[in-house]
Structure 1
Amino acid sequence: MYEDRKQMAMAGWRNLLTQPEIRMTAEEQYDELLKMADAMQQEGLLTGAEWRQLIRDAGAVFTNAREGLEGGT
Structure 2
Amino acid sequence: MNDHRKSQALTAWERLFNQPEIRMDAEEQYEALLRLADEFEDGGIISPGERTALIERATVLYSQSVAGVGEGT
TM-score (norm 2): 0.93
1:19-69: CA deviations, max 9, x gaps? 111110100000000010000000111111100000000000000100122
Structure 2 CA distance, aligned partners of 1:14 and 1:27? 16
Structure 1 CA distance, aligned partners of 2:52 and 2:39? 13
Q: Which has the higher helix share?
A: 1
State the partner residue of 1:28.
28
Query: Runs of 4+ in structure 1 displaced over 3 angstroms?
Result: none
1:1-73 equivalences under 5 Å are 2-73=2-73
Aligned residue pairs total 73
Where do 5+ consecutive residues of structure 2 fail to align?
none
Q: Supply the AA of the counterpart residue of 2:9.
A: A
Query: Superposition RMSD on alpha carbons, in Å?
Result: 1.2
Where do 5+ consecutive residues of structure 1 fail to align?
none
Structure 1 CA distance, aligned partners of 2:68 and 2:24? 15
TM-score (norm 1): 0.93
